[in-house]
Structure 1
Amino acid sequence: MSDPHRAKSTPPGAPARQSGPGRPKDLGKRAAILDAAKRLFTTQGFAGVSMDQIAADAGVSKLTVYSHFGDKEALFAAAVRAHCDQQLPDSLFEAADAAPLQEGLLQIARAFFAMISGPEALAGHRVMCTPQVVESPMPRLFWEAGPQRLQDSLAVVLQHHVDAGELAIPDVRRAAAEFLCLAKGELHARMIFGCCDGGDVPSSHEVEAQLESAVGLFLHGYRAGARR
């Protein structure tokens, strides 16, 4: 079955995606396109942004955008991945994996909360909740490129601690999702709705208290030998 959203975002004459070796891509242009895409998708939503706008904002031709990313859906997914990789790179999960269990989980929780509580992330979250976006490909693309990939990376860390006998988790993928939900807590919801006490953002003390509590609750439920 054809995808009407995909058909609209790839106009006639756009270059087809090629497989195999070809002309090397300009990494500087690719980075500029991703930066423009993140900025415009966040402020205007998926349907409200055209490839022409992204090309103009990045200072490249539309053909260059298509050459790098193929279509708007692929560009959106790449922009989400780039943002997540910048905030929570593989090296962070590797360092957390090597650290003592509680400290490693705190490292991940702090980096995750910092990523989702930034102005760009909050604006993007609000855009995702609008009726126009809900009916577009954007939510699924966002989920697969962002939260799902983070959960998968965290599940690998948790599995290592299960194998080491430190955690007793029957389903590490579900536990990874639970951990990230605990890390979000009430503070993230209050930030989304602009309901933080005493300002637009919670204090660092509030954030740290929530994250420490989240890690504590998680370990209370899943630490090997913990009473249940």
Structure 2
Amino acid sequence: MVSPRPSSQTDAAGQKASAPKPAGPGRPKDLSKRNAILEAAKRLFLIEGYDGVSMDQIAAEAGVSKLTVYSHFGDKETLFAAAVRAHCEQHLPALLFAPEPGTPLRERLLAIAQAFFEMASAPEAIRIHRLLCTPQLAQSPLARLFWDVGPQRLHEEFAGLLRSRAEAGELDLADADTAARQFFAVLKGEPYALLMLGYPLPGKAETRAHLEASVDMFLRAYARRGG
């Protein structure tokens, strides 16, 4: 942004020049405030759900004005979508889905499986999922918004990884999208269904065994055999 001229200068008529006007809508946003708003939104949405959180609460939690929140995100739905996307990217960063052919395929799939299950099985995530499945929200634009910026984004990145590994000769699959859906469905399986019904989270050893068995089953179905 070009700096405004100093207001202390005088014009040709000897009159003091007027102070510069504030920058218009094109002025860059304060990234630190944006990040503070996102972090506050993630915390509050995960704890209180969508309807239980107001923009006033988010502003107070972030230490900014409500006007600043609206300036960065426009409305509550846009902020919710950004918070969901940021939450997913925090737990499942794009780097996890980089081709990196030097990393053994099973090791990469286990890393994704572990990160995904930890995120999906967190108490706050279960709470959000339950809320989105209620009659009030199940058919709402908010549910579709959540799907598009969360699960769908994850699906697309993982399907891209599968395609790259298939091109490298490690996988034999005709439809990466179908394989990606199957992978995450198997990962969630019975443990996730029980969590949704209020059962306790399995222990670390049991969870690890479930994830390893799921990855191994996936590889038995799609890993390219020699010959």
**Does 2:108 align with 1:104?**
yes
Residue type at the aligned position of 2:201 = V
Q: Which runs of 5 or more structure 2 residues have no equivalent in the other structure? A: 1-24
Aligned positions of 1:65-104 closer than 5 A:
65-94=69-98, 98-104=102-108
In the aligned structure 1, how far is the partner of 2:218 from the partner of 2:183?
7
Report SS of the residue matched to 2:64: coil
Aligned positions of 1:44-63 closer than 5 A:
44-63=48-67
In the aligned structure 1, how far is the partner of 2:62 from the partner of 2:76?
15
In the aligned structure 1, how far is the partner of 2:104 from the partner of 2:135?
44
| Greater RCO structure (CA 8 Å; 6+ sep) | 1
Which one of the candidate residues 162, 165, 170 is aligned to 2:169? 165
1:107-130: CA deviation from partner (whole Å, max 9, x where unpaired): 110111111112221221222222
The Cα of 1:40 is off from its aligned counterpart by 2.6
Judge conservation of contact 1:96–1:107 (CA < 8 Å) in 2.
no
Report SS of the residue matched to 2:98: helix
What TM-score do you get using the length of structure 2 for normalisation? 0.82
**Does 2:120 align with 1:116?**
yes
Aligned to 2:212: 212
Superposition misfits of 4+ residues, deviation over 3 angstroms: 95-98
Greater helix fraction, Structure 1 or Structure 2: 1
Aligned to 2:221: 221
- Residue identity (%): 56
In the aligned structure 2, how far is the partner of 1:153 from the partner of 1:99?
17
In the aligned structure 2, how far is the partner of 1:201 from the partner of 1:96?
32
Alignment root-mean-square deviation, CA: 1.9
Report the count of equivalent residues.
202
Rg comparison, structure with higher value: 2
The Cα of 1:179 is off from its aligned counterpart by 0.6
Which one of the candidate residues 24, 29, 46 is aligned to 1:25? 29
- Structure 2 CA distance for partners of 1:47 and 1:136, relative to 1, 3 Å: farther
In the aligned structure 2, how far is the partner of 1:46 from the partner of 1:112?
22
Aligned to 1:37: 41
- Structure 2 CA distance for partners of 1:45 and 1:133, relative to 1, 3 Å: farther
